[in-house]
Amino acid sequence: MLTEHTIEIRVRYCETDAMGFLHHGNFANYYEMGRTELLRAQGGNYREIEESGLFLVVVRLDCRFHSPAKYDDLLALTTRVDRVTPVKIEHAYELRRDGLLLASAKSTLACVDREGRIQRVPESLGTPPRKSSE
């Protein structure tokens, strides 16, 4: 299964701040778009997962900001599945402009039902990548 996917994101004017840069609060939204499109590239669809009664909730998001982006910059976001356990998915993200790394992040998602109870991660969301260290 595909475990890495890159999308292009054009920085919107409304996402900039008075410093003249892409505001740091918007990166979480970009990473969420990265997950949506990685899943679509894998043949899945997050909307259908929600319609089936399962929800992926972010339980941790650790962001590092290396260099600023500006309005109208065309960015490349790479989203990678790092690890899947029965109840969690870990992703890693790299956001670049012309190859220059602007930001990186790691997130942990849990799978819950409509009442917020922990559920097994559905198989369509990926099986753990085999690692020599495991």
Does 118 participate in binding its own copies (rule CB under 8 A)? no
Compute the distance between CA of residue 101 and CA of residue 79 in angstroms, rounded to an integer. 13
CA 108 remoteness from chain centre: 9
User: At closest approach, how far in Å is the CB of 132 from its own copies?
Assistant: 28
Site map 23..62 versus its own copies, x via CB under 8 A: xxxx-xx--xx--x--------xxx--x----x-xxxxxx
Alpha helices in 1-134 (DSSP H): 27-41, 46-51
Nearer to its own copies, 15 or 84 (CB): 15
Compute the distance between CA of residue 37 and CA of residue 31 in angstroms, rounded to an integer. 10
Neighbours of 17 (CB within 10 A): 11
Q: Which residues bind its own copies (CB under 8 A)?
A: 10, 12-14, 16-21, 23-26, 28-29, 32-33, 36, 45-47, 50, 55, 57-66, 68, 70-72, 116
